[in-house]
Structure 1
Amino acid sequence: MPHIIFEYTDNLSEEADIPNLLKKVNSVLINHNDIFPTGGIRSRAIELQDYRVADGAENDAFVHTILKIGSGRSDVDKKEICDELFEVIKGHFAYQFARRYLGISMELIEFSEEGTYKHNNIHKRFRNG
């Protein structure tokens, strides 16, 4: 953990530069490797083709971000990281935001480790480096 998931409307796909967005958010999380182990970071984006925004009268768009983390981080750390991530996301979509109707949102989901199953040898690469 953490996992960061973007859902974005397909009317953003030509200008969204999603690979660069994923790189940016991973960099934020890697810079906090004292809180989140680098080997556990996962980011992905899902382009939505079936959606409706508001009354459907305009070509409205949205980007919704979900940050999933295991429990145990301090409220201060969670706020700092969420604030930083949200600023990066807003900055990434600033061009689109200035030129069209666009909703940008983010939520944090924190869960207990109980009921979570993991099998990951990626951590080993970062411990031995």
Structure 2
Amino acid sequence: MAHAIVEWTSNLEGEADIHGLLELIAAAMRDSGGVFPWGGIRVRAIKLDDYVIADGKADDAFVNITVKMGAGRSAEFKRLFFSGLFEEVKAHFADLYARRYLALSMYVEEADEAGSFKHNNLHSRFKKDN
């Protein structure tokens, strides 16, 4: 399980390549050497129309990524993988960041397996492929 939820402010519409960001995140997870099983990868975006940033007076924007994953990855893997992923995210937005006020953030959470319920037949499709 690795789910990434990208929240982004609607004032980035037409300026930010959000779908490209989703592809970047999904590709990084697929390229994790099997740490994230392909059938459990979910990457999605939620455009926010209602928000307040800082003092609410400027055309500030943000993109927040929350990654939820099952427990069991080492602290070293998480540090290396997610710091590398965040560098890719920063590079993805570098031009936009240079032109406007933009806050980028990423939070990584481990799911409590006792509170996690799943029913998924996607894994069987990928067992033969990777």
Matched, 1:109 2:109: yes
Deviates more, 1:94-103 or 1:80-89: 80-89
Scaled by the length of structure 1, what TM-score is found? 0.95
Task: Give me the identity figure in percent.
Answer: 48
Q: Which runs of 4+ in 1 moved over 3 A?
A: none
Matched, 1:86 2:86: yes
Q: Any gaps of 5 or more consecutive residues in structure 2? A: none
Equivalents in 1 of 2:18, 2:100: separation in Å?
Answer: 18
Q: Any gaps of 5 or more consecutive residues in structure 1? A: none
Equivalents in 1 of 2:33, 2:13: separation in Å?
Answer: 30
1:18 CA displacement: 1.4
- Is contact 1:28-1:84 (8 Å) kept? no
Deviates more, 1:62-71 or 1:13-22: 13-22
Equivalents in 1 of 2:105, 2:30: separation in Å?
Answer: 22
Matched, 1:77 2:77: yes
Name the residue aligned to 1:29. 29
Name the residue aligned to 1:119. 119
- Is contact 1:10-1:47 (8 Å) kept? yes
What value does the CA root-mean-square deviation take over the aligned residues?
1.0
1:35-74 equivalence runs, <5 A: 35-74=35-74
Equivalents in 2 of 1:47, 1:81: separation in Å?
Answer: 26
Equivalents in 2 of 1:10, 1:98: separation in Å?
Answer: 18
1:112 CA displacement: 2.4
Equivalents in 1 of 2:7, 2:126: separation in Å?
Answer: 29
Q: Which amino acid aligns with 2:21?
A: L
